[in-house]
Amino acid sequence: MHVLRLRLLAAGILAVIAFLLYSSTLLPGQDLGDTASFQAIAGERLLTPRQGYPLYFAVIGLFVHALPVEAARATNLASAVAAAVAVGLVVLVGAELGGTLVAGLVAGLLLAGSYTFWSQAIIAEVYALHLLIVGACLLALISWYRRPSLWRLGLFFAVYALGFGNHLSMVLLFPGFALFLLIAAPGGPREMVRPRVVLLALGLASIFTLQYAWNFSSLLDEPGHRGYGELLLNFWFDVTKSDWRANMVYGIPESTLSDRFAMYWFDLRQQFGVPGALAALVGAAWLLWKRWRVGVMLLALWLANWLFAFTYNVGDTHVFYLSSHLVVALAAGCGAGWVVLAMRDTAASRRLVAWQKVLSAGTVWLAIAVVVAYPAWRAFDTYPAMDRSGDREPTRFLDQLTAGMDGGREILGADMNWQLHNGLDYYAKYTRPDLVVFNLPDTLLYFPFLVATNAALGRQIVLTEGAATMVRDLYGHLFSLDRDPRLAVESLSERVATLPPGTRYVLAVIEAYPESPIDPTALSAATRQLGLRPDDLPTGRYAAVVGRVGERPVARLSGATPFRARTDLAGQLVDVRIECWLPADTIRRAGFGHVIVKGRHVLTLDRGVSFVAFGPDGAATLRAWDPGLYAPQPRFIVRPGHGQ
């Protein structure tokens, strides 16, 4: 009982520390992409099948309704809480697997400070809650293994079934969990197919399937549906994303396999470093030797999740490695725990005099300090890159896009990148509820009627750049699309031209999105304003220049693979971190890289050109992107053309 209390205390303390880390680096408001979509939906009464995730929306809905803060911040905070609890559970699981609290502490610290997990713990996303549920499943399963009983087995079944309401990738855990139940059952594999066990599993699965009744209920309101059979088919199609699921797994060309292996090695080092990866190998070998059933389960869990992520053919592969990262953290904790236990047992088996016992005990404690200090140091080093506490760029971009618009007399038609589109949905719902926004592609066929109707009501339609292009392509000269003079869109060269000589800056160039290529003429104009010569900007998939306006650069950085470089710029330590793997990465919610000055995060890198200027105190004075998600874009006012 004393050991259990000590483990619970340690797990609680580390969970609190993790929460403090995540809350201090929490994104303060809205984001773009899926996160913005979650933030906009949170707290609503109805869910559609396409929205899925009923458990996740129930959890973040509680935070939205319970906390007196902006909805976006409440949903971000929900992730921080879930991630902190997940860390605490990993401490308990690691201590059980490794047989020592040191194993749990190392596993918990490694997960808490890992780059991808941290990035998901500070925004509205499903993955923090997913790892919480995975940790709870492991804890329940180990509890059953230690003291087998039907109710403990039922607890595991219940937690596992509940997890499907958060994310369907719970299915990837099935091979590992099922294998463990078969090889660890006290009465042999047949114990798992006894009627009472099968009925218990099916009964709990049926009960927790009812979570999706929330999503299904919205279909019942559809007029004129053909019956429940068709509704069920539509429901399954939308919940499982059948229209694109077939292309997202096992869809990578064989020619890219070597690149995928290199990508995973980069990703593993990004999370745990080489020492962490080596500790995981030691821990996995020790588990397979000493506790082979548990070792086989963890290996199967890692392999299934790794294989899915490895073959995932969508641009955010890194987040699907998260479940495998949890397994690696547990294995690394067991490896560290084995080292400490081996040193302690060796000392105990020898006959030592008093001073030798003291020296031996000191050596063991030194080893504990080292294996715990390593993941703690990694968390300290990762902190600036993960600090999004001052990140208001999504809101600033949308503030600029809608600047000067009169919500009572104008409506905005949009066709933008899906990440910006989701961000605009949240913005129009919470930040600018006076502003009416519509999706231009949905109205394109009856757009002339929409223009005429609003004109009769004294309202004019304003279009984003993409929407204006679509209208122009379809309707030609039927409408005159005049650039909105109220929205000034400055080029990158015009913005950097305002900087006085001697201003410190970093200019980074990352291979651009195919649909938004870099304009070499515009880039050359900007570099000339900075005082750079044509050969001062290096070439490569990733490139950066660190210097002062009007002077030769202090550092020229480039590479075909991600890198990290530190430069002393007039007494300031500038840390340029490339944190993506191209061309596979097309979605990086934490950014494609970072610029950190004097330990302070000053710029999130996007694909394309990213620029930051900063003062003597290290604070950013100018941020700019071109092209990229945050690149400024013009608006257009719709007026009757020659044909109307």
347 has pLDDT over 70: no
Cα–Cα distance between 349 and 579 in angstroms, integer? 47
Among residues 612, 613, 605, 611, the alpha carbon closest in space to that of 629 is found at 605
Q: What is the mean pLDDT of residues 297-325?
A: 93
pLDDT at 643: 43
At 462-490, the pLDDT tens digits run: 999 999 999 999 998 889 999 999 998 99
DSSP 185: -
Cβ-contact 45, 92 below 8 angstroms: no
Phi and psi at residue 221, in whole multiples of 5°?
-85, -10
pLDDT at 216: 82
Please report which confidence band the pLDDT of residue 343 belongs to, taking 50, 70 and 90 as the band edges.
confident
Q: What is the mean pLDDT of residues 100-111?
A: 97
249 has pLDDT over 60: no
352 has pLDDT over 60: no
pTM (2 d.p.): 0.94
> Between residues 355 and 380, which one has the greater pLDDT?
380
pLDDT at 271: 97
Q: Which amino acid is at 331?
A: A
pLDDT at 644: 44
Mean pLDDT of the chain: 92
Cβ-contact 123, 79 below 8 angstroms: yes
DSSP 429: I
33 torsion bin: left (phi>0), alpha (psi -120 to 50), beta (else)? left
